[in-house]
Amino acid sequence: MKNADLLTGITTTGTPHLGNYVGAIRPAIKSSKKKDKLSYYFLADYHAIIKCQKPERIIKSTLEVAATWIALGLDTDKSIFYRQTDIPEILELTWILSCITSKGLMNRAHAYKASLTQNRIDKRKDLEKNITMGLFNYPILMAADILMFNADKIPVGKDQIQHIEMARDIAVKFNNTYGKYFILPEAVVDEKIPILSGVDGRKMSKSYDNTIPLFESEKHLRKLIMKIKTNSLSPEEPKDYSTSILFAIYQAFAESNEIKEMKERYKKGIAWGVMKQELFELLNEVLKQPRQEYNKLIKSPDYIEDILKKGAQRAREYSVPFLGKIKKSIGIQIIR
Ligand code: TRP
């Protein structure tokens, strides 16, 4: 098996929503179809248990995320689609990397620092309250995800850039200590990819509980769209599309001629109710067929399990021999 030209992980704690689709899933599926490039996509379930200690939630989310990616057309023969926990080598590498990573580097990780700050704001005596070793080690696990497959490009959101830089630092440290085993990964952040707002106007995110899940029923999808925040301009008044949440979502899904036309309708003063209906119709049209596929898949966990197991098998064709080499390089091997 070849190393990963491209690799990315999806934490399995939530139900995929429109923001996930536009920000991560759609570009990933597009790149998975590229010729001569091998993409690795995985369900980061060991990352999930850092923030979520509800087993039912993890089980449900793992199934939902896998079904979503497959329903939306991920080519699971061409790319490698697997679950992190099916690759035990990743955890072995996590320990090996932990032994060369300085604690000081981890002290600087944003996620850890944000928790300290929160404790300070809450005026807690113990600033480390509720901070687990899992959270603290998170960037090392992520480095292992990446380095295990000598991944080259890592498409991520801005919030993850620091983690990729840490993976590079860790790789450099290992290479300098034991020899040049790892290539240095690079974060790719596509500035053109829109960041969608949720129904309340803040960034669409499960932590704000403002998402529009991708595969809600038609009825519920309509209901959620009707809830999207607008201003109080009356039907005839001209409206600014550049600040409209409805328009931003519309733009992320429509064809360029439709977008152009919609801009005109904003200038002429489209009523919010009409715009909501337009957005609903567009989204429903785009999502109808994958939704059917998704509903079928969700009822066939065995089928999904088979796909993930096959993906893991292929991924391990790379990780097993590579980890063997790494262990040998650090002085751990069979004595004979
Ligand atoms: N931490 C990433 C996130 O929350 C998910 C992730 C885990 C990941 N391992 C990865 C992304 C490796 C890219 C590469 O979005």
Tokens 């023969």 sit on residue? 77
Which atom, in ligand 1's list, is nearest to the CA of 155?
A: 13
Distance, in Å, from the CA atom of 222 to the CA atom of 286, rounded to the nearest integer, reads: 14
Q: Is 36 left (phi over 0), alpha (psi -120 to 50) or beta?
A: left
Query: Among 50, 142, 195, which is best to mutate for testing ligand 1, by the most ligand atoms less than 8 A from CB?
Result: 142
**With a 6 A CB cut-off, is 152 part of the ligand 1 pocket?**
no
- Residue 329, both tokens: 């390089």
**With a 6 A CB cut-off, is 145 part of the ligand 1 pocket?**
yes
- Residue 127, both tokens: 């600033």
Tokens 């904003």 sit on residue? 266
Rounded to the nearest angstrom, the distance between the alpha carbon of 230 and the centre of ligand 1 is 33
Distance, in Å, from the CA atom of 305 to the CA atom of 323, rounded to the nearest integer, reads: 25
What pLDDT sits at residue 35? 85
- Residue 222, both tokens: 């309509």
Rounded to the nearest angstrom, the distance between the alpha carbon of 234 and the centre of ligand 1 is 44
What pLDDT sits at residue 296? 98
What's the one-letter identity of residue 29?
A: I
Judge contact between 298 and 63, C-beta under 8 A.
yes
**With a 6 A CB cut-off, is 47 part of the ligand 1 pocket?**
yes
The protein residue whose alpha carbon is closest to atom 14 in ligand 1 is 8
Which atom, in ligand 1's list, is nearest to the CA of 11?
A: 5
**With a 6 A CB cut-off, is 9 part of the ligand 1 pocket?**
yes
Tokens 């059917």 sit on residue? 292
**With a 6 A CB cut-off, is 11 part of the ligand 1 pocket?**
yes
Rounded to the nearest angstrom, the distance between the alpha carbon of 320 and the centre of ligand 1 is 21
| Low-confidence residues in the chain, pLDDT < 70 | 336
> What domains lie within the chain, and their CATH numbers?
6-194+301-329 (3.40.50.620), 215-295 (1.10.240.10)
What is the edge-to-edge ordering of all strands in the sheet holding 6-11? 80-83, 39-44, 6-11, 153-155, 186-188
Q: Is 120 left (phi over 0), alpha (psi -120 to 50) or beta?
A: alpha
**With a 6 A CB cut-off, is 154 part of the ligand 1 pocket?**
yes
- Could you write out the three-class secondary structure of the chain? CCCCCEEEEEECCCCCEHHHHHHHHHHHHHHHCCCCCCEEEEEEHHHHHHHCCCHHHHHHHHHHHHHHHHHCCCCCCCCEEEEHHHCHHHHHHHHHHHCCCCHHHHHCCHHHHHHHHHHHHCCCCCCCCCCCHHHHHHHHHHHHHHHCCCCCEEECCHHHHHHHHHHHHHHHHHHHHHCCCCCCCEEECCCCCCCCECCCCCECCHHHCCCCECCCCHHHHHHHHHCCCCCCCCCCCCCCHHHCHHHHHHHHHCCHHHHHHHHHHHHHCCCHHHHHHHHHHHHHHHHHHHHHHHHHHHCCHHHHHHHHHHHHHHHHHHHHHHHHHHHHHHCCCCCC
**With a 6 A CB cut-off, is 282 part of the ligand 1 pocket?**
no
Distance, in Å, from the CA atom of 114 to the CA atom of 255, rounded to the nearest integer, reads: 39
Q: What is the pTM of this model?
A: 0.94
Rounded to the nearest angstrom, the distance between the alpha carbon of 34 and the centre of ligand 1 is 22
Cβ-based neighbour number of residue 258 at 10 Å: 14
**With a 6 A CB cut-off, is 160 part of the ligand 1 pocket?**
yes
Query: Among 10, 94, 203, which is best to mutate for testing ligand 1, by the most ligand atoms less than 8 A from CB?
Result: 10
Cβ-based neighbour number of residue 100 at 10 Å: 14
